Chains A and B, each alone.
Chain A
Amino acid sequence: MNVRVQNVSKYKKMSKYGIYIVLFALIGFFSIVADGFFSSTNFFNILRQVAVYGISAVGMTMVIITGGIDISVGSMMGAAAVGCASLMVAGLNPILAIFLVLTLGLFVGLFNGFFVYEVGIPPMIATLATMSILRGSAYIISGGLPVYGFPSSFKFLGQGYLGPVPIPVIIMGICFILGYMILEMTSFGRYIYGIGSNREASRLSGVNVRKVMYSVYGICGMLAALGGIVLLSRVNSGQPKAGETYEMDIITAVVLGGVSTTGGEGKITHVIAGLLVMGVLLNGMILMNIPDYYQRVVKGAVLLPAISYDMTSQKSIARDA
């Protein structure tokens, strides 16, 4: 065996933890300039704010690793929220309603998977169509008005606490743990990476590409629906425009976490950091009373250099390798 001792370049290490550096820099910055930022209450606050995004980001991470994308998740949340609310208003048991809506999410995901895998429509376009269908459906079901008036027990999901920890944060945590286990520890996870890296080589290595693709889009749809249910419970009314533009923030968090949009690369642990960067940034600016319009500008202005840094350090690795 011809193993020459490798001293891993500093760059490589840096880029591996680049997003964490950004995260801690932001936390440090806001701790100094924003009153009330550095407290456990506020940290749980941040976590609760990102929970809905985080739940869906787990599915999105998987889809993006296969080299795809799903921009229908925001609309899926809206449809799930309105759907779940309507079912409960109609007198259905909340648990049954949740179950039905999750199944709906799964099927919408499989529907996306069908058009992406069987028909071969580029994922962006296939899910663009679904996005429109779902949002329209949400408005049709609700008649354009908020749906409310469901059992108070349902509130627990979005507003409850377990000790000091908000329930949405626990749900997000479970999703991330399961996502981590799938991606890092199972053969199914390997296939997700493998398909993103080289789909044909995967097929010729005996991978059932169809099954993996359907599963990944199915999981993504179902988690988006779950996100929509949690959102519904938090705001306590089924808004047809719930989750609007969430897909963009979710994709941003995943990409900030270093998941390559060309497929095959990315770590879900980094996605958590990407998500928190978004959460900390928004929370910090709110605490500093920065108006919403400026917040958007700052968000974009921080994202670009963060992603640029990641890209350039990746490039330099590619050059050195």
Chain B
Amino acid sequence: MVVNDNIVELRHITKRFPGVLALDDVSFEVRRGEIHALVGENGAGKSTLIKIITGAHLPTAGEWIFNNQKMNECSPAISKAAGISVIYQEMNLMPHLTVLENIYFGKEAKHGVFLDKKRMFVDCIQRIEELGVPLNPNALVCNLSIAEQQVVEIIKAISEDSKFLIMDEPTAPLTGTETENLFAIVDKLRNKGVSILYISHRLDEVFKISDRVTVLRDGRYVITMNTVDTTRQLLIKYMVGREIGQDYPKRETPIGQPVLEVMGYTNSMLKDCSLTLHKGEILGLAGLVGAGRTELARAIFGADSITRGTLRLNGDTVNIRSPKDAISFGIGLITEDRKSEGLLLNKGIDFNIVYANLRNISKAGFVSKKKEISITQSNFETMNIKAYSYSQLAKTLSGGNQQKVVLAKWLATHCDVLIFDEPTRGIDVGAKREIYQLMCDLVLEGKSILMISSEMPELIGMSDRILVMRNGAIKGTLIREQVTQESILELATE
């Protein structure tokens, strides 16, 4: 096989949706056996490009070639048959079937009309061993970790003789070690001659595993580079179209009186958690996945109940039993999972923005249209949401813009204490920076922020103090000046 031969060639691909040009004359190629990273801000057109390659969308103009074959009339079935597979963030496995049944679903080995279980089992074991992962073919998928499920997806894809694998943010739900394991697998796939289009917001990963990297911006092709010839700074510059000096905005906010005092919060997930949040402070909450950070946030917000503990707000003991109570006391929670807990996906941006604030803009139960429009307008502009109208449905927005809508909703409530749970998960560098700036502006206004994040540089860069949680308990406090990733990890791990 010729090394420089291209598996995918995109030529002048344009995709136009009503009112939006999602892709504008994009051309680049992926070589055989390379790991090709695709980066760009949210809304840059990466998802649309995937949908074109997988046949979910037809391009408005342009053509593309896969494995020397023109793909003008592509459909999901054609794309799959040609050997293209996608590993999404969300798994598409059947949870109540076993690993083996999932892998061979739709292409079972048979003896006449009966299943040839033995052959499938042997074949399955062989594939699992090839990748060097411990996985039981007879385990139920619902009992597997997300990382293991991902491996099942990958085996499923290569068992279909995929020549081209698209991985869309595969490491987003994974822990550090799991990510390392995934990279080892990806490396093995490359050695087997599988080409990979790797999409990630985590630039470190791009540098770690990719051979070449392509940047998209606002639906346009910007550049393709050999990964070794570029730097993080340069890549960010291409992605946002402007130079980003430092990652986190500077601020000199005076820390004031205690605003929120949580004492002895205990429930099935939490053990005697106490914390104090001051006026104008950003308090970071660090810990590994499952350490109880989200659970603590939900307990403070009244979304989960507690068996013991008290909460003082500006010195007064208050009883918060539901999110409604919390909001009436001026506490807001920006949840980790914006799609299932933050947004009304089939409602418009305007509907979402005022949703938590209806009480304040209604008289005798009737919503004031005038106030609704003015709140929508001002927050739409503050958050710099990119959409073609206020009533555009939330589900049609990119991830970063969806997050901005969620933030706009909470800004509209004028809460004094805001809990941000993974506020920048799955969104691009530019939008991240806007969110950091917003958080700084908020504390400057005298609000207080409790911030949960799994990205340590972000947590260290933003927080005044960091609390570290482990097994549902708070294990220590670190002051900004003395905090390092190592000191956090020391407290966070056993």
Using a CB–CB cutoff of 8 Å, the interface residues on chain A facing chain B are 1-9, 185-188, 190-191, 193-194, 197-198, 200-208, 264-265, 320-321
Contact = CB atoms under 8 A, between A and B. Distances in A.
Given A6-B19, A190-B358, A185 B351 contact: no
A2 B384 CA distance: 8
Given A194-B344, A197-B346, A198-B340, A3 B365 contact: no
Contact of A193 (B20, B351, B393): B351
Nearest to B377: A1
A321 B393 contact: yes
A205 B365 contact: no
B92 interface: no
A7 B356 contact: no
A4 B365 CA distance: 34
A211 B160 CA distance: 51
B268 interface: no
B409 A265 contact: no
Given A4-B19, A208-B324, A201 B340 contact: yes
A248 B343 CA distance: 33
A113 B80 CA distance: 46
B248 interface: no
Q: Taking chain B's interface residues, is the majority helix, strand, or loop, or is none over half, making it mixed?
A: mixed
Nearest to B335: A204
Interface of B: 17-20, 301, 303, 322-324, 326-328, 333, 335, 340-347, 351, 355-356, 358-359, 362, 365-367, 380-381, 384-389, 393, 395-396, 409
A204 B332 CA distance: 9
A263 to B, nearest CB: 9
Contacts of B384: 1-2
B451 to A, nearest CB: 18
A201 B344 CA distance: 7
Contacts of A5: 19, 388
Contacts of A9: 18
Nearest to B409: A205
Contact of A185 (B303, B355, B367): B367
B323 A204 contact: yes
A3 B387 contact: yes
Contact of B367 (A1, A186, A207): A186
A185 B366 CA distance: 6
Contacts of B17: 320-321
Contacts of A190: 351, 355, 358, 367
B215 to A, nearest CB: 20
Contact of A200 (B18, B341, B347, B381): B341
Contacts of A2: 384, 386-387
Given A204-B303, A204-B335, A197 B18 contact: no
